[in-house]
Structure 1
Amino acid sequence: MLKKLLVLLFFVTISFNSIASPHYTIFYGGDIITMEGTATEYVEAVVAEEDKIVYIGSVEHAFKHYPNSSTKFNLKGRTLLPGFIDPHAHPASIGAFILSHDIIAAHDWKLPHKTYPGVSGHGNYLQAIKTLINEKKDPSQSVVIWGYNKLWHGDLSLKELDEATQQTPTIILHHSTHEIFVNSTAMKQYAIDSNKIKAKKHADTTNNHFWGKAFLELKKDKLDSVFSDPKALKLGMDRVSNMLLQNGITAITELGFPSENLEREYSTLKYATEKSPYYSVYLIPGMSEEVALKMRVHQYFKRINTYAEKYNTQNITFLPNQFHIVVDGSIYDLSLQMQEDFLNCADCKSEWTIPLKNSEILFNYYWNKNYKIHVDINGDLGVKKYNAIVKRALEKNPREDHKTTYHNLGYFTSYEAQNMATLDIKASVNPNYLWALSDKYNEVGFGAKRADNMVASRQLTKRGIPVSLHSEFPLAPANPLHLAWVAANRIVASGKIKRPVESLSMFNTIKGITLTAARTLDLENELGSIKEGKQATFTILKQNPFKIDPFNIKDIPVAGVVYKGKVKLN
């Protein structure tokens, strides 16, 4: 009997020890940059207990005070940074769809599965379409090609499109993702009768060109099977996951989620995060679904407050008490709201996404609910008008640390930047606007003065406004080092440097994809820096961005990521 009790006690002890003993991982042997404070701060070692950081400091202390059973990860001279964060993207609502299809855009797209060379010029664009179509094995299979932009590719007529695509059903999706061209074969295949389009003001039936409400009408009806194909969306999300790993992104946020169809978009994300569980997805609902469902503001408010309980997983989180509003048109199709007229662009027309009066009602509703409000604004008139809206809200219902954040900010004036600072408005900018658009917008749309001053981030930081960097993927590749490279150098696609005085410091640049990006999402207590108590999520680079020429940071290879304590190498 005594022998049996001793054996039982032995196994209980072993079992208890296995449960009680935490697992530690010690990271050492390279440059470890915390991104805390106001200047670059290095530590020798980081210790993670499962998914939390429990110690930062010397290697000697880490090795001495943590058990021999700890995993020791030698960086071998590589650099450990807080995990990169993209605080504004659209991976599920449109990104996965685009990556499951073909790309012919004005600039190169380098993705893990393929590099799509940039194409400029009308004839070159049509030839690229012909080449792509000729490479297809099954000419009866529908083709979707994303990336068209009139300023680079010229006017696209139905006759030219039909000649380039022959009998292959083809849909051309504009770079902005807000308009399409449909060839004659696809019109027949999907039973589209242009005469029955309800939103006739948003349709050029001569060339089968549909935008705005007409595009949404087709997308939800005749072309629903194209845009909601589950097989294609899964393929696209697999490619999104690979892109995030390749570029060191450990957290990505979809603003305005869902855009239209909650179950479809959520299932796409859930599939991806279960198959590739090395990044987090944060979701912020917004006006897109509210408009799609034609719900009243208070009804939609009740709806979104059920999302977290229903849909949150280990990798997917609806962020509480945050809402997304879109103010003006896209910068890519020059429909943003500008104070001065467009240059050499008779077709350019500024648009409000919804009437400003309605936008203010929506803003005030969530303001009075003490929500953090994310506001997409592209043009300087939009910034001016929304500064006035925020000012009125503060006068009626003062709120300390309201954290209202403007996103995109393609062009704004120094005067309105000062007003933003006075109103305590934060910012998340898209530096790729400068890189991709400045050259062309010197000639058309903006003119040299405005085009050279696009995304003038230093106007914000010098006034104490924290600035994060985002891609707005798929409008630009989700690549934080590319965004940092542009923000730090003010370099554009032609290789020219535009207004270097507006460059961000390297420290603020890297903060823009780590700690400030976390603050944009109210996640600075969990992510964004290497600090005891925070999540053990890091990006591993083969070079230290603070020790090389800023012009080379976009080419730093990403060795891999550490996600909640688990290493995933490229």
Structure 2
Amino acid sequence: MDKALLGGNVLTMNEGAPRVEAVGFEKGKIVAAGATAEVSKMVGSDTQVVHLAGRTVIPGFVDPHNHFSFTTFQPVSVDCSVPPHVSINGVLDAIGAAAKSAPPGQWIWGWGFNARAMEGHRRITRKQLDEVAPDNPVTIEDSSVHAAYANTAALRLAGIDRNTPDPDHGQILRDDNGEPDGTLWEEALNSVYNLSLRAHLEQYGDYAVDLVRQNCQRYMAAGITSVGDALVLPEAAEMYRQADTLGKLPFRMHQMLGGDGFFSAPSRVASGDTGDGNVSDRLRGGTMKIFMDPVFPSPALIQEHPHGDHEHIGARYYTQEEADIIVLAAHRRGLQVAIHCLGTWSIEQALNAFEAALKAHPASEPRFRIEHYSLPTLEQIRRTASMGVVSVMQPAFVYTGAVRGQERAEELGGGALVFPFKTMLAEGVIVAASSDFPCAPLEPLTGIYAVVTRKTRLGEGPIVPDEAVTPLEALKMYTLNAAYAMNREHEVGSIETGKRADLAVLSHDPTSVDPDFIREISVEQTYVDGELLHNR
């Protein structure tokens, strides 16, 4: 035995032995999990022994939906987050400071701005960015990842001007004179984002893989040992390949492949014109991501009127026929299909497309996924369970947006439910938890706090307290269920002999502390394949 963790409180997520005292591993695999006295018998002269002193050990958190490639360049980009920024002027000052130290023509990339959090939902305009950065292309990614704010130089490089038509699934917002005002929604931001990503890869060269490694360290500090990047562009895929080749990818990265632009249709992936993303043991793929509805101007929703009629409102990326075609093509190819759905209408279309694909091409376990699943109805939940579709949700959205979610559900009527975790589990849906970082906080313990207490970061709540789950249920969503969503439950997600020794050591037991304290629990150690890669 290479290493033994003794004298602890080990929450295994294994129903056969849910709570033990010790765990031992060898050559990256778990070889023992049981009482301290039993595991101690396997300790040899070369075994490294860690005395836990009552600390809690859990399987390493699995994050099946986040935007790792988006956040890789954050250390060399401008933090425009709201909060801590409270005004547009503060954001502009930060962009201006970056521009003063950058040579002319160098891209400046900002992240985290949230117009919806500003008074009057004020957006940053092209002209404002021009004033503080006249000699550099600038793009600021919205915290939703579904909008960007660009200056004239960036728009010019992207070929966007007053004569550029809106794309099919996006919008170039314009001023009173018909000129682009700098805000790009959905598919309209593809070219600006691609250009800024390529510019950063060229600027930082080999250092980009070091930034990947640094980002991995941030995830491991949160106890995360497996990651699913929810949309990997070709440029990001190459960055990951280089990191993997150079040994800078310490944990497993699951690539979800999409189109050549962030919001483009993944037609080439579905048809087999590209690879499936499976590169090595560390760098994996096999999943196609598709957007069914946008954030801006509105997700695809079903409005129920008082007299009983239903109305489809908001926008969608695909008609039902278009969705059916692309899902079936990917399904025939053997790819897992993950569909981004924010509204009730988009959920309905996704379930229809999955059903049609299975009818045309039966498969025993396609493991279809719906990402976000924000406002489902009870009927949709039961249909999801009956079809074995995995729901990949974000508990931290309760922390950041439960009040708005409740308001929207009330506006819609028709039984739309607000982050209904308890109902979904009760109905038999496999609910996997993820962060969607940077759209919500990265730390799983924040999400667990939110889904257990149903409280927001402003202290509001509990919001729909009947949908609260237990801490143990929340832990399972972030470990075993999340691994299941990535087809990895045979490797990780629980502490059992034969599985990989991916573990996190916590300062306290989330299942026994005051729920309001869960967010304060610290991740003291993180092991990947038995190697200690984070030590607080």
* TM-score between the two structures when normalised by the length of structure 1: 0.80
Q: Relative to structure 1, is the Cα distance of residues 142 and 365 closer, same or farther in structure 2, using a 3 angstrom cutoff?
A: closer
1:76 is matched with which residue?
53
Following TM superposition, by how much is the alpha carbon of 1:53 offset from its aligned partner in structure 2, in angstroms? Answer: 1.1
2:275 to 297, 304, 310: 304
Secondary structure of 1:237's partner?
A: helix
2:143 to 148, 153, 175: 175
1:248 aligns with 2:229: no
Following TM superposition, by how much is the alpha carbon of 1:206 offset from its aligned partner in structure 2, in angstroms? Answer: 4.1
2:78 is matched with which residue?
102
Please tell me the residue identity of whatever aligns with 2:15.
G
1:58 aligns with 2:35: yes
Q: Relative to structure 1, is the Cα distance of residues 198 and 449 closer, same or farther in structure 2, using a 3 angstrom cutoff?
A: closer
Superimposed CA distance per residue, residues 418-460 of structure 1 (whole angstroms, 9 cap, x where no aligned partner) = 1212222221101222322233566789759799943221221
- % identical aligned pairs: 19
Is the CA contact 2:140–2:149 (under 8 Å) kept in the aligned structure 1?
yes
Please tell me the residue identity of whatever aligns with 1:380.
T
> Quick one: distance in 2 between partners of 1:411 and 1:365?
28
> Quick one: distance in 1 between partners of 2:196 and 2:41?
66
Q: Relative to structure 1, is the Cα distance of residues 276 and 219 closer, same or farther in structure 2, using a 3 angstrom cutoff?
A: closer
2:6 to 10, 19, 28: 28
Is the CA contact 1:487–1:504 (under 8 Å) kept in the aligned structure 2?
yes
User: Which stretches in structure 2 are left out of the alignment for 5+ residues?
Assistant: 306-312
1:565 to 511, 522, 530: 530
Superimposed CA distance per residue, residues 142-185 of structure 1 (whole angstroms, 9 cap, x where no aligned partner) = 53222223322233334444456677754322223333222346
Of the structure 1 ranges 369-378 and 285-294, higher mean CA displacement relative to structure 2 is found in 285-294
2:68 is matched with which residue?
91
> Quick one: distance in 1 between partners of 2:415 and 2:126?
32
Is the CA contact 2:267–2:326 (under 8 Å) kept in the aligned structure 1?
no
> Quick one: distance in 2 between partners of 1:351 and 1:304?
30
Please tell me the residue identity of whatever aligns with 1:391.
E
1:281 is matched with which residue?
253
Q: Pairwise CA RMSD of aligned residues?
A: 3.4
Superimposed CA distance per residue, residues 204-259 of structure 1 (whole angstroms, 9 cap, x where no aligned partner) = 33423333444223344588425764357446434422311220111111234x32
2:114 is matched with which residue?
149
> Quick one: distance in 2 between partners of 1:36 and 1:325?
33
Is the CA contact 1:441–1:447 (under 8 Å) kept in the aligned structure 2?
no
**What is the correspondence of 1:451-490 to structure 2 with a 5 Å cutoff?**
453-490=417-454
Q: Relative to structure 1, is the Cα distance of residues 389 and 163 closer, same or farther in structure 2, using a 3 angstrom cutoff?
A: same
1:407 aligns with 2:378: no
Please tell me the residue identity of whatever aligns with 1:179.
A
1:202 to 171, 186, 189: 171
1:521 aligns with 2:496: no
> Quick one: distance in 2 between partners of 1:74 and 1:185?
58
Is the CA contact 1:25–1:50 (under 8 Å) kept in the aligned structure 2?
no
Secondary structure of 2:459's partner?
A: coil
Q: Relative to structure 1, is the Cα distance of residues 293 and 378 closer, same or farther in structure 2, using a 3 angstrom cutoff?
A: closer
Please tell me the residue identity of whatever aligns with 2:140.
I
1:436 aligns with 2:368: no
Following TM superposition, by how much is the alpha carbon of 1:554 offset from its aligned partner in structure 2, in angstroms? Answer: 1.4
1:540 is matched with which residue?
505
1:37 is matched with which residue?
15
> Quick one: distance in 1 between partners of 2:109 and 2:272?
36
Q: Relative to structure 1, is the Cα distance of residues 182 and 223 closer, same or farther in structure 2, using a 3 angstrom cutoff?
A: farther
1:328 aligns with 2:299: no
> Quick one: distance in 2 between partners of 1:99 and 1:455?
32
> Quick one: distance in 1 between partners of 2:247 and 2:108?
29
- Specify the structure having the higher radius of gyration (Cα): 1
> Quick one: distance in 1 between partners of 2:145 and 2:478?
25
Superimposed CA distance per residue, residues 503-549 of structure 1 (whole angstroms, 9 cap, x where no aligned partner) = 12211100011111111112111101111111111001111111201
Of the structure 1 ranges 544-553 and 355-364, higher mean CA displacement relative to structure 2 is found in 355-364
1:127 to 70, 81, 90: 90
> Quick one: distance in 1 between partners of 2:356 and 2:75?
42
> Quick one: distance in 2 between partners of 1:223 and 1:410?
29
Superimposed CA distance per residue, residues 324-349 of structure 1 (whole angstroms, 9 cap, x where no aligned partner) = 3322113xx4532111299xxxxxx8
> Quick one: distance in 2 between partners of 1:160 and 1:441?
32
> Quick one: distance in 1 between partners of 2:32 and 2:165?
62
Superimposed CA distance per residue, residues 86-124 of structure 1 (whole angstroms, 9 cap, x where no aligned partner) = 0112212x22134431222234xxxxxxxxx2x34xxx2
> Quick one: distance in 2 between partners of 1:450 and 1:144?
42
**What is the correspondence of 1:422-433 to structure 2 with a 5 Å cutoff?**
422-433=386-397
Q: Relative to structure 1, is the Cα distance of residues 238 and 567 closer, same or farther in structure 2, using a 3 angstrom cutoff?
A: closer
Q: Relative to structure 1, is the Cα distance of residues 139 and 353 closer, same or farther in structure 2, using a 3 angstrom cutoff?
A: same
User: Which stretches in structure 1 are left out of the alignment for 5+ residues?
Assistant: 1-22, 108-116, 343-348
> Quick one: distance in 2 between partners of 1:287 and 1:128?
31
Secondary structure of 2:494's partner?
A: coil
> Quick one: distance in 1 between partners of 2:449 and 2:242?
31
2:301 is matched with which residue?
338
Secondary structure of 1:275's partner?
A: coil
Q: Relative to structure 1, is the Cα distance of residues 63 and 425 closer, same or farther in structure 2, using a 3 angstrom cutoff?
A: same
1:114 is matched with which residue?
none
Matched residue count: 514
Following TM superposition, by how much is the alpha carbon of 1:362 offset from its aligned partner in structure 2, in angstroms? Answer: 1.6
2:477 to 492, 512, 524: 512
Q: Relative to structure 1, is the Cα distance of residues 137 and 41 closer, same or farther in structure 2, using a 3 angstrom cutoff?
A: same
2:353 is matched with which residue?
389
Secondary structure of 1:474's partner?
A: coil
Of the structure 1 ranges 557-566 and 387-396, higher mean CA displacement relative to structure 2 is found in 387-396
> Quick one: distance in 2 between partners of 1:274 and 1:471?
25
Is the CA contact 1:452–1:498 (under 8 Å) kept in the aligned structure 2?
no
Of the structure 1 ranges 204-213 and 291-300, higher mean CA displacement relative to structure 2 is found in 291-300
Please tell me the residue identity of whatever aligns with 1:253.
G
Superimposed CA distance per residue, residues 268-321 of structure 1 (whole angstroms, 9 cap, x where no aligned partner) = 6437x82362x2212233456795786384343xx325x43xx31x432235xx
Is the CA contact 1:191–1:222 (under 8 Å) kept in the aligned structure 2?
no
Superimposed CA distance per residue, residues 366-420 of structure 1 (whole angstroms, 9 cap, x where no aligned partner) = 3344543222211111112222233334444444443222111121112211121
Q: Relative to structure 1, is the Cα distance of residues 404 and 369 closer, same or farther in structure 2, using a 3 angstrom cutoff?
A: same
Q: Relative to structure 1, is the Cα distance of residues 60 and 238 closer, same or farther in structure 2, using a 3 angstrom cutoff?
A: closer
1:225 is matched with which residue?
199
Q: Relative to structure 1, is the Cα distance of residues 521 and 409 closer, same or farther in structure 2, using a 3 angstrom cutoff?
A: same
Is the CA contact 2:258–2:269 (under 8 Å) kept in the aligned structure 1?
no
Secondary structure of 1:552's partner?
A: helix
Is the CA contact 1:33–1:43 (under 8 Å) kept in the aligned structure 2?
yes
Following TM superposition, by how much is the alpha carbon of 1:202 offset from its aligned partner in structure 2, in angstroms? Answer: 3.0
Q: Relative to structure 1, is the Cα distance of residues 191 and 363 closer, same or farther in structure 2, using a 3 angstrom cutoff?
A: closer
Secondary structure of 1:261's partner?
A: helix
